[in-house]
Amino acid sequence: MIIKQCFPLVIERYERDPVSPEASIGSLERYRKMGYDAIRNLPQEEKQRDQSAIDTAFQESAEKIQRLDEQRRQHCADTHNADDLPVQS
Protein backbone atom coordinates (compact mmCIF):
# COMPACT_ATOMS: atom_id res chain seq x y z
CA MET A 1 0.00 0.00 0.00
CA ILE A 2 2.78 2.45 0.89
CA ILE A 3 4.56 2.11 -2.42
CA LYS A 4 1.38 2.05 -4.50
CA GLN A 5 -0.45 4.93 -2.82
CA CYS A 6 1.81 7.08 -0.68
CA PHE A 7 4.91 7.38 -2.85
CA PRO A 8 2.91 8.51 -5.92
CA LEU A 9 1.01 11.01 -3.77
CA VAL A 10 4.27 12.58 -2.59
CA ILE A 11 5.41 12.93 -6.21
CA GLU A 12 2.05 14.41 -7.27
CA ARG A 13 2.16 16.89 -4.40
CA TYR A 14 5.70 17.90 -5.39
CA GLU A 15 4.62 18.39 -9.01
CA ARG A 16 1.72 20.65 -7.96
CA ASP A 17 3.52 22.60 -5.24
CA PRO A 18 7.31 22.20 -5.40
CA VAL A 19 8.42 23.31 -1.95
CA SER A 20 11.82 21.62 -2.00
CA PRO A 21 13.06 18.27 -3.22
CA GLU A 22 14.62 17.64 0.19
CA ALA A 23 11.27 18.02 1.97
CA SER A 24 9.56 15.68 -0.49
CA ILE A 25 12.31 13.09 -0.22
CA GLY A 26 12.04 13.41 3.56
CA SER A 27 8.35 12.52 3.22
CA LEU A 28 9.30 9.50 1.13
CA GLU A 29 11.77 8.45 3.83
CA ARG A 30 9.06 8.64 6.50
CA TYR A 31 6.74 6.48 4.39
CA ARG A 32 9.58 4.04 3.74
CA LYS A 33 10.10 3.72 7.50
CA MET A 34 6.36 3.11 7.97
CA GLY A 35 6.62 0.38 5.33
CA TYR A 36 9.51 -1.22 7.20
CA ASP A 37 7.49 -1.09 10.42
CA ALA A 38 4.54 -2.75 8.68
CA ILE A 39 6.63 -5.72 7.50
CA ARG A 40 8.82 -6.21 10.57
CA ASN A 41 6.90 -9.28 11.79
CA LEU A 42 6.66 -11.07 8.46
CA PRO A 43 8.61 -14.27 7.82
CA GLN A 44 12.17 -13.46 6.78
CA GLU A 45 11.73 -14.33 3.10
CA GLU A 46 8.60 -12.17 2.72
CA LYS A 47 10.18 -9.39 4.74
CA GLN A 48 13.25 -9.31 2.48
CA ARG A 49 11.10 -9.34 -0.66
CA ASP A 50 8.88 -6.53 0.60
CA GLN A 51 11.82 -4.50 1.90
CA SER A 52 13.46 -4.76 -1.50
CA ALA A 53 10.24 -3.58 -3.17
CA ILE A 54 9.98 -0.65 -0.75
CA ASP A 55 13.63 0.30 -1.32
CA THR A 56 13.27 0.11 -5.10
CA ALA A 57 10.10 2.21 -5.08
CA PHE A 58 11.73 4.73 -2.74
CA GLN A 59 14.78 5.05 -4.99
CA GLU A 60 12.69 5.45 -8.14
CA SER A 61 10.45 8.04 -6.46
CA ALA A 62 13.39 10.03 -5.08
CA GLU A 63 15.05 10.01 -8.51
CA LYS A 64 11.83 11.24 -10.13
CA ILE A 65 11.63 14.15 -7.68
CA GLN A 66 15.27 15.00 -8.38
CA ARG A 67 14.62 14.90 -12.15
CA LEU A 68 11.59 17.16 -11.75
CA ASP A 69 13.66 19.58 -9.69
CA GLU A 70 16.42 19.60 -12.29
CA GLN A 71 13.90 20.19 -15.10
CA ARG A 72 12.35 23.05 -13.14
CA ARG A 73 15.75 24.61 -12.50
CA GLN A 74 16.70 24.25 -16.16
CA HIS A 75 13.41 25.81 -17.23
CA CYS A 76 13.95 28.73 -14.84
CA ALA A 77 17.51 29.19 -16.09
CA ASP A 78 16.35 29.10 -19.71
CA THR A 79 13.61 31.63 -18.97
CA HIS A 80 16.04 33.86 -17.10
CA ASN A 81 18.60 33.67 -19.92
CA ALA A 82 15.93 34.48 -22.51
CA ASP A 83 15.05 37.61 -20.52
CA ASP A 84 18.68 38.72 -20.75
CA LEU A 85 18.82 38.55 -24.55
CA PRO A 86 19.06 41.93 -26.27
CA VAL A 87 15.99 43.11 -28.11
CA GLN A 88 16.60 43.48 -31.83
CA SER A 89 14.95 46.37 -33.67
Q: What is the mean pLDDT of the chain?
A: 87
CB 13 within 8 A of CB 28: no
Q: How many helices (H) and strands (E) does the chain have?
A: 3, 0
In a domain, 34, yes or no: yes
Supply the pLDDT for residue 42.
Answer: 96
In a domain, 25, yes or no: yes
Q: What would the pLDDT profile of 8-55 be if each residue is shown by its tens digit?
A: 999 999 998 888 899 999 999 999 999 999 999 999 999 999 999 999
Tell me which DSSP letter residue 18 carries.
-
- Determine the Cα–Cα distance for residues 89 and 86; give it in Å rounded to an integer: 10
In a domain, 31, yes or no: yes
In a domain, 44, yes or no: yes
Q: What would the pLDDT profile of 42-84 be if each residue is shown by its tens digit?
A: 999 999 999 999 999 999 999 999 999 998 888 777 665 655 5
Q: For residue 38, what are the domain limits?
A: 20-48
Within 10 angstroms of residue 42's Cβ, the number of other Cβ atoms is 13
- Determine the Cα–Cα distance for residues 9 and 75; give it in Å rounded to an integer: 24
Task: Report the number of distinct structural domains present in the chain.
Answer: 1
In a domain, 8, yes or no: no
pTM of the predicted protein model: 0.78
